[in-house]
Chain A
Amino acid sequence: MPYTLPQLRLLILLAMTLLMGLGVREWRARYPDAADRLERFDREESAVPLEPDAPAPAPPSSASRRAAPPIATPAVSGLSPPGSAPTGTAPPPPAQPIDVNRADAAELARLPGVSSALAQRIVEERERRGRFDSPEALRYVLGMGPKKLAAIRPFVTVSD
C-alpha cells in the first residue's frame, strides 16, 4: 500500500469535504432563495432592508393594561408647522420657514441646495444630538458648509 493509515484517513477526509462542498454549491445554485433564508435564520427582521414606505410597527394593544394611550399615535400633522406639508416635486424655496427640529427629510429637501441625502443626514444628526440649538448647529451635519448654511439661513427656524 502506498499510504500509511493516517495518510489514507486524511485523504478520505479531504475527498469527503470536497464532495460535500460540491453538493452544497450545486444546491445553493439551484435554490438560491432557500440558501439565503438559511443564511439569515438567526437574523432579526430589521436586518432585511425596509420598503421605502413601510408603515411603522403597530403598537401592541393596551386594552388589557391600565388606562394608557397607545404610544405611537399619529402626531406628525399636529406638530409640523402649517404650510410645510410635503408637496410633490421639485421645490421652490418654502414660503414659510422650516423648523429644522421638527421637519422630516422630505420637507428639509425643499431647502435650496439641500439634496435628499443631505436632508436625511440632517435628520440623523438631529436624532443623534436630540435637537439643534441654533441654525449654526447645522454645521455639524456632514456636507453643510458655510455657504450652504448661508443660503438656507433665511428659510429655517429652530424651535427650542
Chain B
Amino acid sequence: MTDRPRALEAAPLLPLAVAFAAGIAAAAWYENTPPRLLIAAGAMLLVAALLLSARRPRVALTMALAAIALCGALRTAPAPLPLDHLARRALDARVTLEARLDQEPVRWALDRTRLLVEVDALHLGPERLPASGRVQLTVYGEPTAPLGEGQRILVDARVYRPIGFRNPGGFDYPAHLRRDGILLVGNTRGDRVTALTPDLPPWRVAAKRWAVTVITTRLPETSGALLAGLLLGERTALPRESDEAFRRAGVYHILAVSGFNVALLAGAVFTGLALCGVPRRGTAVVAAAVLLAFAAVVGAQPSVLRATVMGLLLLAALLLDRESQLPNALALAALALLIWRPGDLWEPGFQLSFAATAGIVYLTPWLTRLLVDRGWPNWLAAATAVSLGAQAAVTPLMLLHFNQLSLVGIVANLAVVPLAGVATTLGMGALLVELASATVADLLFQALWLVLLALRAAVHVAAALPAAMVHLPAPGPATVTAWYVALLLAPLAAGSRRLRAVVGLLLVVVGVLSAWPWLRPTESMLRVTFLDIGQGDAALIELPEGPRLLVDGGPGGGRRFDVGERVLAPFLWNRPLGRLDAVALSHWDLDHSGGLAAVFTHFDVGEFWESGRPPPGPSDAVTALARSRTPRRVLTAGRRLWIGRALITVLGPGAGPPGAANDDSLVLRLDWRGVSLLLAGDLGSRGEAQLVERGGPLRTLALKVAHHGSRFSSTAPFLEATQPHLAVISVGARNPFGHPSPDALARLVSSGARVYRTDRDGAVILETDGRRLRVTTWATGAVEELDLVSGDTTAPE
C-alpha cells in the first residue's frame, strides 16, 4: 500500500541521523557541561547493553538513540580557545596581523572585498607574537596586489567582535560567524594589505578561476555571470536585478551548486562513457572521481557536500551491485555533515538542501501517483511532483529565514529547471572542450548563450507576474511542526480515514495559526521600537487599534550592504503589517532616508510626511518614493494631526528661511493617554534653541535624542524645556563621528533622564497602556517597568 515501512527498514541510518540532529537542536536550549553529558551517554549505552541481554531490544534501542542524541549535544560544546587566540586578547583599536587567506577573496560590492584569514602572528611594535584565530576582514577600496587563497599577508586592521543588528526576529550574525569559527571581524583599507608570498593558489582554486575566466570571456556579462552561478555557484558578478528576479520567481536554488549539478555531472559522465563503450564499473569509478574533483573546486557548502556524499554512495552501490536506498544515503550525508560541523544544522543552506531532498525523496512517489490517477501525462506528473514535493518541504524554512513565499515557484520551476539542466550540461561540456579546442568551445558557448537567454526570459516573465512572491511573518514552532507532521502523514493517509482526518485537522491548524496575526484582536497598547540599524535612525510606532507610523528608515540603499533591505524590511515583515499608515522622514541625510528605499519598494505606505526641505540629490529612496506614488504631506511647526487616537504635534521646522539640514529636521511629538514622546531628528544646538524659542508643548516622558547624541545637540536649555524621563539614543557602535559624545551623555544624565542606546542595548522597545511603561532592551533581554502614576521603577522578575 505504501512505500514508507519498506523505506524505513531500508534506511537504518535515518533514526541515527534524526537522533543526532535532535541532540544538537536540544543543546541550544540548555547549558551543557561536557563531562556530565559524557557520563550520561556512557551510562545510557551501558543500560542499553544490559537491556539487550535481558531481551528488551525495543527499550534498548530507545536508550541507544538517546545516547546518540547526547553525543550530538556533546558535539556542539565549543572547544576551549587556544591560549594564543586573538579573541583572548584585549586588542588595541588598530593591530598588525600576519595571516593566511583561508578562502578566495569575495568582492561583494564595488569597493568592498571580504577576506577570511587564519591569523599566525600579531605584530606589536618590533615584537612578533604567535597568535591564532579566524578573522573576517572587510577591505575598503582596491587591494594593492591581487590576492588569492593560501597567500600570506601582513595587514593593518581594526579588529573587533561582531555584533550584527539586534532586533526582534533579526538574524543572529555573530552566531552565524561563530559556527564558522569566526570570533572576530575587522576592517581595513586596500593599501594596508601587504602580500608576503606570491599568489600561488592550490589547483582547485586555479581550476575555478580558469573556469570563471573562460565563461566571462566567452559570454556577454549578464549571461556569463548567470552561467558562473549555475555551474560554480559564483554569484558575485550577477547584477542585482537578476538576483532579485530569480528570488521572486522562486528558482533561486538553481544559482546555488546543489544535488542538481552533481546529478547532472554524474549523469553526463556516466552516459558519455557508457556510450563510448566503457564498462559499467569503470564509468562508476570515473564518475566518483569527477564528483570529488567538482566538490573540491566549488567548495565545501552544505548542499554540495550533501549531494556529493549521496552521489558517491549511489555509485558505490552500483559498484558493489547493491540496491541503492535514497533515504539511507540522505541520512548518511546528514550524519556525516553534522558530525563534521554540528552548527550547520542552524544554517539556512543546510536546512533547505536537506528539506528539499527529503521532500523529493519522500513525497514525489505519492504525488506522482496522485497526479497520474487524475489523468495527467506521466512526464508532466513526475516533473510537477518533484517541484511540489520540494516546495512543500522548503516553504516553512523560506518563511522562517527569509519571510518569502514564492507563489509562482512551482510553475516557474517546470520551465526553468529543464533549461538550467541543458545550460549546465552544455556549459560543463563546453569547458571540457575548451581544454582541447578553443574554436569548437566558442561555438558551444554561442549555442549556450541562446539557452541562457531563454532561461533569463522565463525567469523574467515569472518574476514580473503580480504577487509572484509575497512576504509573510515567520511561522512559529507550532505551525512549522504541524506542517511537517501533516507532510509526513499525507502519503500514508490514502488508505485510512482516521489518518486523513488527522492530516486535515493539522492543515486547519496550520491555516489558523498562520492567519492568527490578522485575526487576533488589536491590543490597546502603544509600542515604540527604536531599531538597531547601525548608525542612523529608525523607529516604528504601533498605536493602539492598529495604526502604524514609521519615523525614518535608517541607512541603506545603494550598492553596499542595504540595511533597509536586510534589517528594516525583515523586521516589518515579521509584524503582520498590511501597510504602514504613515512614514515620516526627519530629513534626507542617508542615515535616515537610505532604508526607506526598501520600505517604499516592499510596503504599502498610506502617506509620506516630510519637512518640505528638498533632498540634496537623487537617491534610491527618492526614486522608490516617486515610483511608489505615495501621497506626500508637508508638515511645519504648529500643525496637529490625529493618527488613530494619538495626537501628533509638529514642533519643527519653523516657517522661516531654510537653515542647515539638521536644524530643519521634522520634529514630531506624540501624545496618547498622557504618554508623550518627542522625536528630535538630527537637531543641532541652533535647531534646539529655535524649538525652545518657538514654544509649544515640549515637556515629554520619552525623548528620541537629537543627532545620535552628538555633542552639539541635547543642550542644557533644551533638556531643561523637555525634562525627559527616558532618553533613547539611536546610534551605531564604532561610528566615526564619536557619537554619542560623553558631554551629551553627561548632560542627559544630569537632567535626570534614564539613557538607552541602540549601540549597546540593541533595539529599545517602549510599551505602555497609559498606566505602566515597559522598556525592553533587546540585546540584553532586560525589562524595566515604570509606573506612570506613582513614578516607581521596577525590574520584574
- Residues of A whose CB lies within 8 Å of any CB of B are 4, 6-7, 10, 17-18, 20-22, 24-25, 28, 35-36, 38-44, 47, 56-57, 59-60, 62, 65-69, 71-73, 75, 78-79, 127-131, 133, 137, 140, 142, 159-160
Give, as a whole number of angstroms, the nearest-CB distance from A120 to chain B.
12
CB distance from B696 to the nearest CB of A (A): 23
Given contacts A75-B614, A79-B616, contact A128 B447 (CB under 8 A): no
A60's partner among B190, B241, B629 (CB-CB below 8 A) is: B629
A-B contact pairs, 11 of them (CB 8 A): A18-B440, A20-B446, A60-B626, A65-B632, A66-B632, A72-B618, A129-B535, A133-B738, A142-B111, A142-B140, A142-B189
Complex: A7 Cα to B662 Cα, angstroms:
74
Give Cα A127 to B616, complex, Å.
10
Segment at the interface with A among B404-412, B448-456, B509-517, B575-583: B448-456
A133/B633 contact (C-beta < 8 A), A42-B460, A75-B614 known: no
Residue of B nearest to A47 (CB): B239
Shortest Cβ distance from B474 into chain A, in angstroms?
30
B447-A17 in contact (CB<8A): yes
Structural contact, B449 and A72, CB atoms closer than 8 A = no
- Chain A residue with minimal CB distance to B589? A130
- Chain A residue numbers with a CB within 8 Å of B221 are 39
Of residues 441 through 466 on chain B, the ones whose CB sits less than 8 Å from some CB of chain A are 442-450, 453, 456-457, 459-460
Which of B443, B626, B712 is within 8 Å of A160, CB to CB? B712
* C-alpha gap A41/B220 in the complex (Å): 13
Q: In the bound complex, what is the Cα–Cα distance between A38 and B219 (angstroms)?
A: 13
Contacts of B625 in A (CB 8 A): 71
Q: B622 near A: Cβ within 8 Å? A: yes
Output the least CB separation between A21 and chain B (Å): 3
Given contacts A21-B442, A43-B222, A71-B622, 18 further A-B pairs with CB under 8 A are A7-B275, A10-B275, A18-B440, A20-B446, A20-B450, A21-B446, A24-B450, A25-B446, A28-B446, A60-B629, A69-B612, A129-B736, A130-B589, A133-B738, A142-B111, A142-B189, A142-B190, A142-B191
Among B442, B460, B558, the residue within 8 A (CB) of A25 is: B442
Chain B, range 653-690, C-beta contacts under 8 Å to A: 658, 660, 662, 684
Query: Please, which residue of chain B has its CB at the minimum distance from the CB of A11?
Result: B275
Residue of B nearest to A140 (CB): B736
B794 to chain A, nearest CB (A): 38
Within the complex, the shortest CB–CB distance from B124 to chain A, in Å, comes to 22
Q: Please measure, in the bound complex, the distance between the C-alpha atom of A18 and the C-alpha atom of B445, giving whole angstroms.
A: 9
Nearest residue in A to B557 (C-beta to C-beta)?
A127
Given contacts A44-B241, A56-B617, A142-B140, contact A39 B444 (CB under 8 A): no
Kindly list chain B residues whose C-beta atoms are within 8 Å of the C-beta of A40. Answer: 222
| Assembly CA distance A129 to B239 (angstroms) | 24
In the complex, residue of chain A having the shortest beta-carbon distance to the beta carbon of B609: A68
Residue-wise, chain B 214-237 has the 8 Å CB interface mask toward A (1 for contact) of 000000111100000000000000
When the two chains form their complex, are residues A17 and B444 in contact, meaning their CB atoms are under 8 A apart? yes
Q: Which residues of A contact B536 (CB under 8 A)?
A: 130
Q: How far is the CB of A105 from chain B (nearest CB, A)?
A: 11
State A7–B449 Cα separation when bound (angstroms).
25
| Complex: A160 Cα to B684 Cα, angstroms | 7
Closest-CB distance, A68 to chain B (whole angstroms): 4
Contact B634 A128 (CB under 8 A): no
A53 smallest CB distance to B (angstroms): 14
Once the chains bind, are A42 and B736 in contact (CB under 8 Å)?
Answer: no
